[in-house]
A and B are shown apart, each in its own frame.
Chain A
Amino acid sequence: MGAGMPHIVEIAASASMGMLLLAIGMATWRLLRGPDLADRVVALDMITLLMVGFIGVYAVRTGIDAVLPVAIVISLIAFLGTVAFARYLLRRKT
C-alpha cells in the first residue's frame, strides 16, 4: 500500500466491503422473497451492481488494478440481463 500510513484506507476498504456484503445479503433476501418476478429481477440487477462496487473496493484493498476490467464486463452483462428479463416479462404477459 504505497504511502507511509496506509491504515486508514485499509480500514475503510474493509468496512466498505463489509457494508457491501451486507447490502448483497439484503438484496438476496429480496431476490428470494420478492412477491413478484419484477422484484426478483430488480434485486438481481442490484446484486450485480453491488458486485461491481465490491470489485472496485477489492482493487483498492489489494492494490491490484487488473481486476477493474472485470467490473466493466460485469456491468455490461448485468445491463444485458436486465433488458432481456424486461423483454421476457413483457412477452410473457400475452
Chain B
Amino acid sequence: MYIIIVGGGRVGYYLTKALLEEGHEILVIEKNQAYCDIINEELGSVCVRGDGCEVTTLTEVGTARANMLIAVTGDDGDNLVACQVAKHKFNVPRTVARIRNPRNEALFEKLGVDITISSTNVLLEKIADVVPTHPVTHLHEIRDKGLEIVEVRIPAGAASVGKAVKDISLPAGTILSLIIRKAQKPIPPTPNTTIQAEDQVVAVIDPKAEAEVRKALRGMN
C-alpha cells in the first residue's frame, strides 16, 4: 500500500517506522527541516520537506495514487485540511486524522475524514482502564462494522451472578465470546455457562448499547 503521512513529529516518526516494517511504501511530508533530517537519516529517505495541506506538494508526491493519507500533525486544522484536500482533490480512498480536541470527532467525520483518532480520548481511556474499579475496558473498536470488543468485570452481588448466559437479557447483537476466570483457563461460554462473581467477560457489542450491556452484566440485584 502507498501511504502518505502528513507530520513527521513523534507520532509521525513512530508510525512511519511501524508501517515501513510492515512493508508499505511510505512517504512523510514534514515542514520542519530538522525533523525531516532525523527521519531520512534514521528510517531511510522517505521524508519530503513541505506543507502537506498544499495541493502542489501533494501533487509532487503522487497523492493521486495513494491508498491512504494519515495526518498526524499536532494541529487539528492542519490535519483536517490535509485530509479534505486528499479526499476531494486527489480522491484518496481512505483518510485518517489525528485530533486533539475530542469534540472535532463528529465534525471531521461529517466533513469527509474517514477515520479520526483522538489522542486525548485514547489516553483518557487507557488511564481509566488501568483503574481497577473501572467497569468496562475497551479492547478494540471495529469502526466500519459498528462493533466494539470490551471486557466487563462482574462484581460480586451483580444480578447476572449465578445466571446462565442464555437467561441474561442482552441488547441484540451482543456476543459474549470469552470468560476469563481466576485460576482457570479462559472458557468460550455456551448458552448454559453460568456467570460467576469476579469473571472477566469479553464481549462483542454495539458501542451504542454499551450502557445496556453494562447494566445487564453488572447491574446489582
Q: Do A and B bind each other?
A: no
- Give the interface of A toward B (CB within 8 A): none
What residues of chain B have their CB less than 8 Å away from a CB belonging to chain A? Answer: none
